[in-house]
Amino acid sequence: MDVETIWQDGSFVDWDDATVHVLTHGLHYGTGVFEGVRCYDTQNGPAIFRWDEHLERLYQSAQPYDMEIPYTREELTEATLELLRREQLESCYIRPVAFYGYGSLGVSPGDNPVDVAIAAWPWGAYLGEEALTNGVEVMISSWRKHASSQIPTNAKTTGLYVNSLLAGEEARRNGYTEAIVLNKEGNVAEGPGENIFMIRDGEIYTPGLSESILDGITRDTVIELAQDRGYTVHDRATISRGELNTADELFFSGTAAEVTPIRKVDNVVIGDGGRGPVTEELQQAFFDLINRETDAHAEWFSYVWAVRAGYLNHHISLSESTVDYLRLIHPGRLK
Ligand SMILES: Cc1ncc(COP(=O)(O)O)c(C=O)c1O
């Protein structure tokens, strides 16, 4: 990893020194919340995609666990921007995590501190470049998703991801790229790290929040892009397992997976067995969006460097001395 620094509990530390005690509460009980965010190297410079929404979800994820993140949104934003600037990261994945730290090892976290870290590193296509064009083959997992009556499935909690691990690894052991996980009722929930969309007769369907899914930010982006293009989107759908087989098109959405077509489910060919036309249109819209080939949804981009007037947003509040310093170390970057 060509990155030297991680932000941990208020300071920038060497990558190798960003460690925790083995009796950290979150390590034993999965009591952490996290985010996965992408920064894109747009034609206006690197920009974090939908940072505000990710940050909001991080704080909301912490709520059911009475976890008070001891930093403000502004502090975490500044830390992230500073990290990306220090490491001169352009296109990267950003991982903020907050967890109950070292102290009591009872299940109750008591007065344990809430530790926070932010790491970032370059990361390409999650399911592979080829997957974006040709789609992936997926398996319906034998593992069911936890019900939202058992655990808050709309919180991005570290402990929940053992379910994702089980489903994903089972799929890969069986020769598939990824899994689809059904909910307790046996209807379609989502992928281990993705939401799912179905296209039938020109309309778009995606499971609703009560189907035990994470309220994906890419899901929301895709819904908006589809509606911008005049599609009818059913975003509270209940999708049965059998409906997947007869879908015209299926695709995954997620920060990591972006918009990835699904070409087969349990060896059943979906549609024409490749990337369907609606998926391709929405995928193109998504890539145009994140590359800033369009002016639409400018509010979703937080630019890492001060860039052309008109693209400044409220996250960019550099002091004059910082600007002078940045000009010095990165001549040409500041416009
Ligand atoms: C279980 C699960 N569902 C859906 C998603 C997609 O969410 P987002 O688009 O916010 O990345 C993710 C990834 O964060 C996830 O882990």
The domain limits of the chain are 5-124, 129-290
**CATH classification for the domain delimited by 129-290, as one of 3.20.10.10, 3.90.950.10, 3.40.50.1360, 3.30.365.10:** 3.20.10.10
For every residue of 164-212, DSSP letters joined together read HHHHHHHHHHTT-SEEEEE-TTSBEEE-SS-EEEEEETTEEEEE-GGGT
Q: Which of 214, 223, 251 to mutate to test the pocket of ligand 1 (most atoms within 8 A of CB)?
A: 214
- With a 6 Å cutoff on the Cβ, whether 207 touches ligand 1 is no
CA-nearest residue, atom 1 of ligand 1: 193
> 82 C-alpha vs ligand 1 centroid, how far in Å?
25
One pLDDT digit (tens) per residue for the chain, 335 residues: 789 999 999 999 999 999 999 999 999 999 999 999 999 999 888 999 999 999 999 999 999 999 999 999 999 999 999 999 999 999 999 999 999 999 999 999 999 999 999 999 998 777 778 899 999 999 999 999 999 899 999 999 999 999 999 999 999 999 999 999 999 999 999 999 999 999 999 999 999 999 999 999 999 999 999 999 999 999 999 999 999 999 999 999 999 999 999 999 999 999 999 999 999 999 999 999 999 999 999 999 999 986 433 334 444 455 555 555 555 555 555 54
**Pairing mode, if any, of strands 178-182 and 92-100?**
unpaired
Q: Classify domain 5-124 by CATH architecture.
A: 2-Layer Sandwich (3.30)
> 259 C-alpha vs ligand 1 centroid, how far in Å?
12
Specify the 3-state DSSP secondary structure of 254.
strand
CA-nearest residue, atom 14 of ligand 1: 193
- With a 6 Å cutoff on the Cβ, whether 212 touches ligand 1 is no
- With a 6 Å cutoff on the Cβ, whether 214 touches ligand 1 is yes
**Model pTM score:** 0.92
